[in-house]
Amino acid sequence: MRRRPMLEVCDVTTCYGRIRALDQVSLTVEAGEIVCLIGANGAGKTTLLNTISGLVPAAGGVVRFEGRPISRLPAEQIVRLGISHVPERRQVFGSLDVRENLLLGAYSRARRAGPAAIRRDSEQVFELFPALRSRSRQLAGTLSGGEQQMLAVGRGLMARPRLMLLDEPALGLAPLIVQELFRIFAGLRRSGTTILLVEQNARAALRVADRGCVLENGRVALRGTASELAANDGLQRAYLGQTNHRRRPDLGGPDSLTSG
């Protein structure tokens, strides 16, 4: 019998007043995969992550995590189930130091796990991001952009998520830092963390992802394996550099290359 996907987004519609930001979007993420979401500005990528993590309510459809419907649960309960959301624009607490930011990431499990486990986990984050270790007492607001992004991801990891939602983690970062971050994402996947990644840098995302999904005006325009998407002409023109204006791409039809 086929195992259920870890995450199932089924016909989800999300509205802001009269604006329909997501229109019957369906998507699955299997345990152990990296799936990337690609799309122009305003396509609905952030809205999809916010809907999954319970920050905005779905107006229709259902989101299931490990078989359990979560679309009506409050955000803090969704975190406790094992979904960690690292939002766009590295939202760290600027007036707290690095260590305090990490501790806040463990907030939902601190009482259950106890201080020794939380210390071990922050040690693991420092191993993953050595640049943060030497700055553990530095105020987060004074870190560089790349360091803040690492801290935001590290804080997300402190919740010990089974699924991480990463919203444009490479935004505004220098190419070398982007490479480093994506290397870390690949490592996280190898150690069993499943990732749904929103990324404007489609080339970098498709290099690290197993599968991808292209959103256009709140709808799924195309989906497939990373190599299928990388080879798609319309997607190459729109997102992989040839024109790079990222507006209403002609993807050669709305249908999927593969299901899922």
Minimum Å distance from CB 98 to ligand ATP? Answer: 26
Which residues in the 30-89 window bind ligand ATP by CB under 6 A?
A: 39, 41-47
DSSP codes, 67-104: TEE-TTS-HHHHHHHTEEEE-SS----TTSBHHHHHHH
Going from the C-alpha of 150 to that of each of 42, 123, 162, the distances in angstroms are: 25, 14, 18
Minimum Å distance from CB 198 to ligand ATP? Answer: 7
Point out which span in 13-21, 124-132, 153-161, 178-186 binds ligand ATP (CB under 6 A). 13-21
Which listed residue (21, 151, 166, 170) binds ligand ATP by CB under 6 A?
Answer: 21
How many residues contact ligand ATP, by CB under 6 A? Answer: 11
Minimum Å distance from CB 42 to ligand ATP? Answer: 4
Establish if 95 lies at the interface with ligand ATP (CB under 6 A).
no
Residue type, 169: P
Task: Report helix, strand or coil for 235.
Answer: helix
Which listed residue (4, 11, 19, 183) binds ligand ATP by CB under 6 A?
Answer: 19
Minimum Å distance from CB 166 to ligand ATP? Answer: 13
User: Please, which residue, 66 or 88, has the CB nearer to ligand ATP?
Assistant: 88
**Residues in the chain, overall count:** 260
Minimum Å distance from CB 214 to ligand ATP? Answer: 11
User: Please, which residue, 23 or 97, has the CB nearer to ligand ATP?
Assistant: 23
Minimum Å distance from CB 17 to ligand ATP? Answer: 7
Going from the C-alpha of 93 to that of each of 96, 102, 160, 161, 225, the distances in angstroms are: 6, 10, 20, 20, 36
> What is the C-alpha to C-alpha distance for residues 259 and 163, in angstroms, rounded to an integer?
21
Residue among 38, 43, 37 nearest 22 (CA): 43
Phi, psi of 69 (to 5 degrees): -65, 130
Which listed residue (11, 16, 57, 250) binds ligand ATP by CB under 6 A?
Answer: 16
Per the CB < 8 A criterion, the answer to whether 82 and 163 are in contact is yes
Residue ranges binding ligand ATP (CB under 6 A): 16, 19, 21, 39, 41-47
